[in-house]
Structures are given as structure tokens and as C-alpha cells.
Structure 1
């Protein structure tokens, strides 16, 4: 016997259209004349408040449904003053239905509600259509017992919701702390006192080679490893020994594309913002990697990971900023990169610094990857129990 069966204890369950026991009311559009900045969330067609206003038109427990746009039908719950704009609210009759019970039920039907979208241009979800969705009402002949059953279902589901929120907060906080520690030590390790080590420009101790142009449509699922400059922001970290993308050997030969070899540092030289420029990735594979023309390969006698970590410091970026040309796409040339000076400790000290920073990098990466997995696991647990607790007999569902 399931927990739901024990909870119901043989009582009848009746399915009724939501509109019979809830008021579904459209919001009111805010115009430029009526808009006043404040701290009241304005609920519109998105998954978060569109902006904040000084006035509200709903208070207390309120369920909102996004009215239009790509997220039309998105369900949210509020227990504070809000302004419902391009959305509509659901206010159940509290003598029959618990608001959180209705919210969890609608969440369990989120895909179905999204499928209520109408319109060939901007999609809309309308209150009249949501009103037809039937909701299970346990023990309809005894409202007091019905609400008690609903309250117990809400209690259990809210526990899982709270656990997911707590876990997200804890892991996010942990990740933030680790990243701050990592950034602090990375900056500190390159903050040598004057006279303790030699400082030289990158151009004095190494050589830059610019990649050659290829486009995303050239990329294949296998072949010669390659790095497109855009992937430097979305995929690559401080080092890599395998590529995300590939090119055909024929293309590489015909275009005479350029390759970064093992021990080179691939440095991105173009991006949408100044902050994007200059980040490096040490290439550690025995097999070379083709690089895009918005990247440079840098070769020196320094530890490549030491150089790559240095390119991610504030000290390095402060030096190259003045050499970056700004525009729709910001960029830097080899001459600008070559002027940045870098501290050069002994090879053993470089190795020691790299080993410590690797540990911080591994820790922050594992937390970053683990965070969405842990959250997804808790979400699946919540959905499992939600579906179990809201899967009522359908014998009495209205046609």
C-alpha cells in the first residue's frame, strides 16, 4: 500500500475543473506612465520578475501563470505583494483547496500547461483553458478532512523543496568560497617581491604565433584536434590534453592551418568584452591542436601551466588592457601580449606553484560539476514523491 493510499484511507477522490474552485484573473499591463520603480515584483511572461514596481495588485498566497512569450504557462508561487502584469493569477477557494496543494499539482502538470499555448506568432496561455484542467479533491464531502489531507501532502513536498533550496545555497556558498580562495592564492603566487626573482616580458622569453581562420561549419566530429576561439570561454580551463572539436585533415592541409604543439599555451585574443581577452590554456597532448585565428600559441621554456595560470591573474590583465582595441569585438595582437611582464622563479618553484593551484582548480571544478548533479538529484526526488502523492484514482474524473 502506497503512502497516498494510507493517507486517503479509503476516502473518495473527486476530480473537478480548477475553474470551479479557483478564481483565475488576468493581470494589468503597466505602461510607461503608470510604471514607478519600487521593490514589488512585476510578474509577466518570464520565469523571473520582469522588473520591480512601487504598487501591487495581488497580496498573500498567489499562484501566477506566465501569460505570453516563450515561457507562457510557467507556474510560480508567491506569498508577498506582487504586481501581475502579462500573466494571470490563480486564487483557490481556501474552504476547498490549499493554495500550495494547487501549486504542487500545477507544477506536476507544467508540461501540459505549456502545451496550452496558442497563437502562431507570440504564444499565449489563457485563463479559460487552464480553468478546464481537472484537479483531484480528496474527501470532497468532508472539507475539513480534505484540507487536512492536502496539508499533509504539501508538508511532505515542501520538505523536499526546502532541502533542494538548502542544498543549492550550501553548495553555491561553498563554491563561491573556494573560488575566492583559489583567486586569492593565484594572485599571491605571482606577487613576488622585487629583487627576489627576475621579471621579463613574454616577448623576451618566448614566441607568439597566430592561428589561421576556419569557421564553425568546418568543424567535424573527428579528425585533427582544433580549438575555436569561442570555446576558450565556454569549454577550456587552465590546461587541456584533448579537444572538444575537430577538423578534416584535408581542410588543415589545404588551408595550411597552424598548430599549437605540446607545451604551448593557447591564448585567446578576441572577444565581446575586454575581460574576455588573454586567457590561456596549456596544451599538454602529444598530438598538436589547430588553433583559430583569434588565438595565439605561445612557446617558451617556462612551465606551460605556470604561464596559463599567470594569464588568468589580475596582474596580467591589468598589463594588457591598454593594448586591447575595443569595438564590437575587442582584440589584442601579439605585440600587445608580448609586452606583459611575468615573474620567472626557478623551474622547481614554478612546479610547486602549479601543483598547489592545480589542487584548487580540481576542487573548484569538482564542486562546479557536482553542484548541478546534486541539485538535479534532489529535484528528481521531489518529482518522484510529488508524482506519487498526486497520482490519485481517476475513476471520478469528469469527461
Structure 2
């Protein structure tokens, strides 16, 4: 059955009233619950909240003036952005720029029902607008209340809608917790094996300066205009970490094949990537290629530098740097240096094991937000369907 059909069956011809939100709810300024100190710490127990995306700003040891959300859940509503959160635990707040919303009559209006409906509303904010939205706007919004003259039936309908929508939010929370736990476990496992596989006794390897066994090259300056005017199919990488550092694509390439690249400047200095394609890099990056002086597997080198390169970043003058002359000095462990075949086999074996863990961890890392987004879209779809009641006239909005 579709959501619309289910809703029709649930209502069973019941009357629907559109009531001002200010009549269905009541609000309180959080003046009595404002935290006095910003000395937050995870060792404290009481969360300090904002209605915005960050939600929990930190934890305080202040125990007086705490709102008991565990006894009486509340909606916190940001007066200026209309962001809102459902809170069913004890808390304090950072500022008074919000409202704490509760039901005006628990025998007629379920607050959780109000919360779900509230999030179907577009904010309607105008750019540059900076006024308190609850009093000037939101308390006049009209919310659909089924069977207004039959509180028992009304609560039953509201409660069933809440039950369905809560099942979606609970499923999302459970899935998030499960995937997060799996990701944490895989990261620990990956770090354990990386440490084990990349820890060598002195007699197991010969240490070589990277500059003695590899050739290093820097990238070139490429402006936004250059990237725009020379748009093509070959990636250009720079100092960012998102999208593997890609900032654009051009019609030519500077490098073709297998390389390790690194970021030379800025907050991401010392970040390394494995490349095996036709590509170019900007002047805040460099590439590394084996020079044939000794056996060197570049995927093995990538995993070694993934942790080692950051140790050699110079942060003087407030601008972190890892320049070519610094990279050349990084010591690289070469197993079985006197037998190139066995040395490469050993390096490839280590790289293969770590590559599998890296692929799994990356897959979970990328899949987690996608899966959460999918569940949130599913929730939003059914929320909008279940709360899209017919309005009696155009003025009921």
C-alpha cells in the first residue's frame, strides 16, 4: 500500500483541522539553562547544545540549571535559522537565541508529531534576514491536527504516524552505529597490520635515502583560468584531499604511468597518493618515480610514506612544507637488497595485504555517508507523504 493510501485508511474519513502552531505548542526561552563556562571537556557529563548542525558543542561539569529533557523531551528551535532538534536527554545551552518548544496540551497534541511535521516546512528565509522566526513567523504556521474534537482518536492517529516515522529514524541510527563500529574495527585492524608489516629489524632491511633510489619532480603552476581554457579528460591534482586531490581536468598530461605523489605546502603537506594513470600536478605537489638504483615497488613506497612523510613536514613560519630536499632524505627500508627479485616480491606482498585493508576501509568510509543519505531521503519521502494532508483553502498554509 502506498503512503497516501495508508494515510487515507488511517484517517478513515476523520476531520482534519489546521491550527496555528502557537496554539498547539508553547515555548520557553532557555535563559535559565545557559552554560556559564565554555570550558568543555569529554570527561564531563552534561552536553551543551545548539540548534544548528553542530548540535552538541561540548560537555560541561555544571550541574545546576540543567533542563531535564529525560523527563520532558523538548524541541530546540534556532530563532534565526529555523534549525531544530529533538532532545530527550538532560542538557544546557550556549545562548538564548533559541526557543524550547513543548506541547501546549499533552492530552491533545503529541510533541513528537509536531517535530516530524515541523521538518516538512521550508524555512522561507530571505537572504540577509535576521529576525526571530518563532514569534514573527513560525507560531502562525498552521499544523494539521486530526479529529480535533475527539482527543483519543486524534492521539491514536498522531501516535501511529510518529511510530512509522520513528521506525525510519531508528533504522538510520542503528545502521549508522553498525557501519561506524565496523569502520572503527577495520581501521584498527588495518593500522595493526600496517604497523606489523612496516616494522623491520635492522638486519632485515637496508635503509636507503629516497633521493638515492628515486627521481623527484615538482608540478607546475596552473591557474583557474588555465584549467577552464584547457578543459579536457586528464586529471589535474593539487593540495586538497577531497576527490583524491583532483581540482580539474585538462586536454594534456605531464605524467603517464605509476607514481607516488605528495603535497608540498599547506595544511595537507606530507599527504601522499598512489597514481597510475595519465595526469598532471600543480606546483604545490611533487611526484616520485623509482630510478632503477635498487628494487622499489611504488605501492610499497606509498604505504611507507603514508605514515612516514608527515614526520618530516616542517611547520616553521606557520606554513607547513615538505619540499623535495626534505623528501629525498626520508629513509626507505629495502628488504633483501642483494636479490632484486625476492626484494620486489617481499615489497609487493606487503603492499598487497595493506591494499586489501585500505580498499575495505575506504569503501566503508565512502559508503557510510551515502547509506545514511539514502536512509534520510527515505525518511523524508515517507514523512512528507504521511504529513501531506489536504488543506481546506489556500489560506491554511
State the TM-score, normalized to the length of structure 1.
0.83
Structure 2: how far apart are the matches of 1:179 and 1:218?
39
SS in 2 for 1:312: helix
What residue is the counterpart of 1:284 in the other structure?
Answer: 276
Contact 1:260 1:283 survives alignment (8 Å): no
What residue is the counterpart of 1:18 in the other structure?
Answer: 21
> Which runs of structure 2 are paired with 1:161-200 in the superposition (5 Å)?
161-200=169-208
SS in 1 for 2:157: helix
Q: Which runs of 5+ in 2 are unaligned?
A: 336-342
RMSD: 2.8
What residue is the counterpart of 2:248 in the other structure?
Answer: 245
Q: Which moved more, 1:361-370 or 1:138-147?
A: 361-370
Q: Which runs of 5+ in 1 are unaligned?
A: 238-242, 253-258
Deviations 1:352-399 (A, max 9, x none): 222222211221122122212221222222222222322223237864
Contact 1:22 1:90 survives alignment (8 Å): yes
Contact 2:236 2:280 survives alignment (8 Å): yes
SS in 2 for 1:356: helix
Contact 1:25 1:127 survives alignment (8 Å): no
SS in 2 for 1:335: helix
> Which runs of structure 2 are paired with 1:218-297 in the superposition (5 Å)?
218-220=226-228, 222-223=231-232, 225-231=234-240, 233-236=241-244, 245-247=248-250, 259-272=254-267, 276-285=268-277, 287=278, 289-297=279-287
Structure 1: how far apart are the matches of 2:17 and 2:7?
15
Structure 1: how far apart are the matches of 2:387 and 2:33?
37
- Alignment of 1:145 with 2:140, yes or no, is no
SS in 2 for 1:284: strand
What residue is the counterpart of 2:222 in the other structure?
Answer: 214
Contact 2:271 2:309 survives alignment (8 Å): no
Contact 1:15 1:397 survives alignment (8 Å): no
Contact 2:262 2:270 survives alignment (8 Å): yes
Structure 2: how far apart are the matches of 1:94 and 1:188?
59
What residue is the counterpart of 1:308 in the other structure?
Answer: 302
SS in 2 for 1:225: strand
> Which runs of structure 2 are paired with 1:345-364 in the superposition (5 Å)?
345=335, 346-364=343-361
**How many pairs align?**
368
Counterparts in 2 of 1:352 and 1:57: CA distance versus 1, 3 Å: closer
Counterparts in 2 of 1:46 and 1:383: CA distance versus 1, 3 Å: closer
Counterparts in 2 of 1:151 and 1:224: CA distance versus 1, 3 Å: closer
Within the candidate set 71, 74, 78, 1:62 is matched to 74
Structure 1: how far apart are the matches of 2:112 and 2:138?
17
Structure 2: how far apart are the matches of 1:102 and 1:212?
57
* Offset at residue 211 of structure 1 (A): 2.0
Contact 2:234 2:251 survives alignment (8 Å): no
* Offset at residue 52 of structure 1 (A): 5.0
- Alignment of 1:46 with 2:36, yes or no, is no
Counterparts in 2 of 1:397 and 1:14: CA distance versus 1, 3 Å: farther
SS in 1 for 2:140: coil
